[in-house]
Structure 1
Amino acid sequence: MVLVLWVAVASFWVTEQVNRQEEQASFTSLAEEADKLARSIEERVDSDREKLTLLAEILAMGEEAPAEYLALYQDTGSFFSRLELLLPGDRVVTADGEEVSAAGRLSFAQEAARGAHVTDRETDLDGQSPVVRHYVPVVRQGQTAALLCGVIELGELARELPYQPYGGQTAVYLIDGATGDFLVDTWHTGQQPGNIWALGSRPMAEGYNDAQLRQGLVNGESNFVVFRSQTTGEYLYFYYTPLAVNQWRVALSVPEHLVFARAQYVRSLLDRMLAAEGAAFLLYLCWMVYYIRRETREMERQGWEDALTGLYNRNRYQHDLPILAQEGRRELCCIFVDVNGLHELNNTQGHQTGDRMLQEVARQIRQDFGTQWSYRVGGDEFVIFAVDRDREEILRRTRTATRELERKGYYISAGVAWTPAPARDLAPLLQAAEQRMYEAKRSFYQNAAFDRRAR
């Protein structure tokens, strides 16, 4: 039992430790998914920079119309939706070769002064669509002759992300930490990207607050907050980490069930294991109770039952006497039986023959008087009690038992006595029944046929 309890305690402890480790692994996985996305975006931006730089060098060496080169960069696996060329005088050469004025929207002087760079969110030439521009200078004779620009349409950027965390089952955000502007917001699909601070506060889980989120985004920290979704009502784990591009931050908004999917799976397995252990432990306890009770009953039976005849033995007889004294309302009968010739039979035909005779006598007693108050109290002596039974019926059953045994070649002497019930003292009753048994026994041996007491 101590071992079983120790195993149960150890199982609960191991389960708790595994649960904690799986929960920590879930947080680690959340951070790893965000980091993978951040690194993939950085690699894509670096790759785009290299391609723009190469094309800018080609443009710097050529005299042909730039539109021919701009068209070369279409659909080449970058973030860019198209390429443009910003010229002095704030004029833009589009990918189809058209030259348009961008005065009031773009400043060649300001962008050229920054060199190769990526802008934050701004407006396209149509004055409506949000875009990000990636500039690389076209340098001729040491002077910036133009700025090659890769235009990233933010409405398309979400579909061009090089990595989909959690297999695309989570919302992805690209946020300007300086302003709170969304560059990507896959949660609010079909809408123009807004501003995270304009969304207002969310009902935070205990231990988290809006100030913590704002401070973390502004400072470029890697951390998370937990808040309840106003749409689904489920807790969302909002993890954010900085990008090596401007002050951009990558953020993931992951439902609780997805964050802890593996932990919940492992927890369910552990719960099943504990349930199985509990069921096995319960079955073991039930079996132990059954076994102990069975063994106890068997020990009681062996302690109270005569092994040869199956009737109660002298121990049970002594135990039941005080009970019998209180049994009945009218009278209590005692039948004292002695088996005639047992010793002679054992001496002449062996103990097995004598045992068969005792077993047959016991079988006849069970048949005529039952087993509730029937006892083998000595080697060849039996005592039977009958409570509130008709005297004539008892005498008739005694005679019947005697005749049936005689028919099989076995002989008994029986003495019957009565006392009013309940009785304070059974000793007189027992003495009277025993005395009458001896009288019957003397009468039996006075018969010439049994003068040698061998049968």
Structure 2
Amino acid sequence: MKKLENLFQRKNLLFTLGIIVLIAAATLVAVFRINIAEEQNCYTTLFQTGEQLNQDIARLINYDKEQLESLAGIFAEYDNLNDEIVLSIISNYKPCGMVSGLEILLPDNTLIVRDGTMTSVEGNMDFAKEAKKGAYLTEVGTDILDSDKRVLYSVVPIVKDGEVTGILRGVINPDELQDVWNINLYGARADIYIVEKSSGDYIVDTSGNKLGNVKFIDNKSIIKRSSMDELARQLMRGKKGYAVFDMPDSSENLYFCYMPCKVNNWELAISVPESAVLGNVGEVRTLLFLLVGFECLCFIVYLMWMFHDARVRNYEKQRRIELMSFTGRVQELLFEAHQNQNNIELALELIGQMTDSQYVFFKILGENGTEEVYQWIKDDPGQPMLRVPKERVHFFMHYFYFKDGSGSIFMPNIEELKVVAPTSYDLLVDKGVTSLMAVPVNDVSGRLVGVLGTCNMGPDCKDTHILEAVKLSFSMLYHNIRSYNIIREMGTVDLLTGLLNRNCYQKNLLNYPNMQFESLACVYCDVNGLHELNNSQGHEAGDEMLREVALTIRNYFGDTHSYRIGGDEFVAFVLDADMENVAKQSEAIAKKLQASDYYVSIGISIGRPRNLDQMEELVKKAETEMYEAKRIFYENGGRERRRR
């Protein structure tokens, strides 16, 4: 603890020294900043304005492209683009965005122009070449309807069944772009320029000058620039920079910034008079006040950091304490959960509370491929019922087998499962699962024996550390369940036949009178000739006969109420069955065994015992019937049959 406190003190000292150095550096920087603040602020503001304008222009152009693509999709539905409806749409098109009209180039190099008429453009346009270009924005060219008018086109292919059937051309008038874009920068005092980099021609010039070429810029009037290269070359190469012009006809300088446009092969430039960008002359005076405020802010930040750091450390400490307490409670619940399985659900509920999950499960893989799933589901009336099918929990077991029983799954978004296991994804999504996590549970040898997981965790759950903290307790639970089942089976199950043994039989005799049933049939079975078979063929043959008899009894009467109560004696109880059906099943058992050259004598009794005496009387009656059948068997030559 002392080491941690010393570390914390050193950290505070270093932070304080850092604050002092920062304040000293800020004071020095402020002195220099006073001299350059106005000019740097000008460039920064200009570039920010230019970037915003750049984005706005790109957004408007993309909007027009999307509109044209929608129209192309509509036109693609027509087998013939000469259809009257298509011609009507083109001729009646109202300007939208930058597009003032529509044209369609057909495969035979016929152009449907804006008024709905058609004209041949053979030699001027090539449909095949245009189709290969896809969607694009052309350079400025001559209007096909008016050779004195400049236009550019937003081109979108019309595709039907994977084949280009036409080229939709949206007509854009460059002279109207400034009105469409509705540019109003620096209170309408800024001028905007769009330059075509390949030629240097102005596409847009809002200064009112006649459109020309950037090559005619007077570099002698530039008093400051970001590059020593000629400004015209910078613009045509798509560079980013600034320049300050000395305007002979004005009392103030002109600030000019340029940058590549986000669309087409264009360069964007903005010019603003000095008074528009340097209006905040009070910055120099207020900067000193800001310096003082900055120093105060640094101390406030320092205090806030101290407070925040203390809160973080206390929070982390509290989380560790909660995790330790949580782990201890889970371990305590699972310690005797092999005898009281309600504790397993209580432990899963604790995990659900810690992770704010809707569903928590623990799946155990048994020795012989048997599986057991324990689950807890949050009872929340405000949310839909979530129940993950047990067969889907099987996915996690396969996942960890693939991962060699290591690692973990943390999917705050179930969409990640779509690639790993699409079938499980579809079913889990259908059941309302939105997130999941799981960890493998291994035994002491490292073998995968189970999976512990949750679904629909809360937003504060960032990883699987809570599950990792308790998976050892669930590993011990698996070990305890396995050991407990082995011990229990040794005390209640006959090791040779797998049926319940005599100890279990005598214990359960007390329970049958208290069970809910209308009638109880007792089937008492004795194997004939076991002693002779042991003497003639050995005890291994006798054991095989007993196992075959037990298997046949289990197949007809199940193993819940079937017992081996002596060396060659078996008893089976059948609930709510009539005498006729029990007799038929008993006869079927005898015939099936006789086919294997095994012979049994069976006695049956039926009744409704209310106490132990009546229960014993029921068994005694069946035993008497069995002995009578056994007597008849031997009188009819049964002994000779067994000797064969």
* Structure-1-length-normalised TM-score: 0.51
1:245 CA displacement? 1.5
Counterpart of 1:340 in structure 2 is: none
Question: Partner letter of residue 48 of structure 1?
Answer: D
2:162 pairs, out of 142, 145, 149, with: 142
Aligned partner of 1:28 among 19, 44, 49 = 44
Percent identity at matched positions? Answer: 30
Whether the 8 Å contact between 1:202 and 1:229 is mirrored in structure 2 is: no
Q: Residue 293 of structure 1 corresponds to which residue in structure 2?
A: none
Is residue 211 from structure 1 mapped to residue 211 from structure 2 by the alignment? no
Q: Secondary structure at the match of 1:229?
A: coil
> How far 1:84 moved relative to its partner?
1.4
Q: Which amino acid aligns with 1:251?
A: A
CA gap 1:232/1:123 in 2 versus in 1, 3 angstroms = farther
Within a 5 Å distance, the mapping from 1:65-144 to structure 2 comes to 65=84, 66-71=86-91, 73-76=93-96, 78-125=97-144, 126-144=146-164
2:214/2:232 contact within 8 Å kept: no
Q: How far apart are residue 196 of structure 1 and its match?
A: 1.3
Residue of structure 2 aligned with 1:157, choices 154, 177, 181: 177
CA contact (8 A) 2:152 2:174 kept: yes
Q: CA deviation at 1:23?
A: 3.1
Q: For the structure 1 residues 231 and 52, does the alpha-carbon distance in structure 2 shift closer, same or farther, using more than 3 Å as the test?
A: farther
Tell me which residue corresponds to 2:203. 183
CA apart distance, 1:188? 3.0
Contact 2:157 2:166 in 1 (8 A): yes
Please say if residues 150 and 173 of structure 2, whose CA atoms lie closer than 8 Å, have aligned partners that are also in contact: yes
Which residue does 2:63 correspond to in 1? Answer: 47
Point out where structure 1 has 5 or more consecutive residues left out of the alignment. 1-10, 272-455
> 1:422 maps to what in 2?
none
Q: CA deviation at 1:36?
A: 1.0
- Measured after TM superposition, the shift of residue 231 of structure 1 is 4.9
Q: Which residue of 2 aligns with 1:259?
A: 277
Q: Tell me what 2:74 maps to.
A: 58
- For 2:116, what is the secondary structure of its paired residue? coil
- Aligned residue among 180, 186, 195 for 2:213: 195
Given candidates 250, 255, 258, the residue that maps to 1:237 is: 255
Question: Is the 1:41–1:162 contact (alpha carbons within 8 Å) kept by the matching residues of 2?
Answer: no
C-alpha change, 1:86 and 1:201, in structure 2 (3 Å) is farther
Report the CA distance between 1:169 and its aligned residue.
1.0
- DSSP-derived class of the 1:221 partner: coil
Q: How does 1:387-402 map to 2 (within 5 A)?
A: none
1:233 CA drift (Å) = 6.2
How far residue 74 of structure 1 moved from its aligned partner, in angstroms, is: 1.7
Deviations 1:197-247, CA, capped at 9 Å, x for gaps: 145545110456773423432332221112223554642111011122122
Q: 1:221 aligns with which of 239, 243, 248?
A: 239
Moved more, 53-62 or 138-147: 138-147
Between the two structures, name the one with larger relative contact order (CA 8 Å, sep ≥ 6).
1
Q: Does 1:174 align with 2:194?
A: yes
| Distance of 2:36 and 2:102 partners within structure 1 | 51
CA RMSD, aligned part only? 3.0
- State the Cα deviation string for residues 405-438 of structure 1 (Å, max 9, x = none): xxxxxxxxxxxxxxxxxxxxxxxxxxxxxxxxxx
1:220-275 Cα deviation digits (max 9, x unpaired): 2221112223554642111011122122111001112212122x35458899xxxx
Hey, what does 1:404 align to over in structure 2?
none
Aligned to 1:246: 264
Q: How far does residue 162 in structure 1 lie from its aligned partner after superposition? A: 4.7
One-letter amino acid of the structure 1 residue matched with residue 207 of structure 2 = W
Q: Secondary structure at the match of 1:245?
A: coil
Q: Distance between the aligned counterparts of 1:207 and 1:49, measured in 2? A: 36
- Number of aligned positions between the proteins: 258
Alignment check: 8 A CA contact 1:223 1:239 kept: yes
Q: SS of the counterpart of 2:264? A: coil
Question: 2-side partners of 1:256 and 1:167: how far apart?
Answer: 13
Query: What is the one-letter code of the residue matched to 2:242?
Result: F
Distance 2:148 2:123 in 1: 14
1:237–1:38 Cα change, 3 Å: same
SS at match of 1:168: coil
Q: What letter matches 1:110 in structure 2?
A: K
Contact 1:121 1:181 in 2 (8 A): no
Normalised to the residue count of structure 2, the TM-score between the two structures is 0.37
Whole-Å Cα distance in 2 between the matches of residues 210 and 87 of structure 1? 49
195 and 89 in structure 1: CA distance in 2 versus 1, 3 angstrom threshold: farther
CA distance in 2, matches of 1:222, 1:199: 17
Equivalent AA in structure 2 for residue 102 of structure 1: V
CA deviation after TM superposition for structure 1 residue 158, in Å: 1.7
Change in Cα spacing, 1:206 to 1:239, as seen in structure 2 (3 Å) is: closer
CA deviations 1:378-402 (Å, max 9, x no partner) are: xxxxxxxxxxxxxxxxxxxxxxxxx
CA drift of 1:68 comes to 2.5
Supply the distance in 1 between the matched residues of 2:114 and 2:216 (Cα, whole angstroms): 35
Indicate if the aligned counterparts of 2:219 and 2:230 stay in contact, CA closer than 8 A: no
Q: What is the alpha-carbon distance in structure 1 between the residues aligned to residue 106 and residue 274 of structure 2?
A: 50
Alignment of 1:333-348 (within 5 A): none
Q: Which runs of 4+ in 1 moved over 6 A?
A: 13-16, 268-271
Question: Are the equivalent residues in 2 in contact too, given 1:224–1:240 (CA < 8 A)?
Answer: yes
Match for 2:270: what amino acid?
L
Equivalent-residue separation in structure 1 for 2:213 and 2:175 (angstroms):
15
In the alignment, structure 2 segments of 5+ residues that lack a partner are 1-26, 289-644
Contact 1:175 1:250 in 2 (8 A): yes
Deviation at 1:18, TM superposition (A): 4.1
Shift in Å, 1:14: 6.5
* Distance across 2 between alignment mates of 1:199 and 1:91: 42
Q: Describe the SS at the equivalent of 2:208.
A: coil
Distance 1:232 1:219, change over 3 A: same
Distance 1:113 1:236, change over 3 A: same
Matching residue's letter, 1:139: V
Contact kept in structure 2, 1:36 and 1:163, CA below 8 Å: no
Q: Distance in 2 between matches of 1:210 and 1:68?
A: 56
Question: Is the 1:19–1:266 Cα contact (8 Å) retained in structure 2?
Answer: no
Whether the 8 Å CA contact 2:37–2:284 is kept in 1: the answer is no
Distance 2:106 2:251 in 1: 51
* Cα deviation code 1:17-71 (max 9, x no counterpart): 4453343222211111111111000011111111111110110102533222325
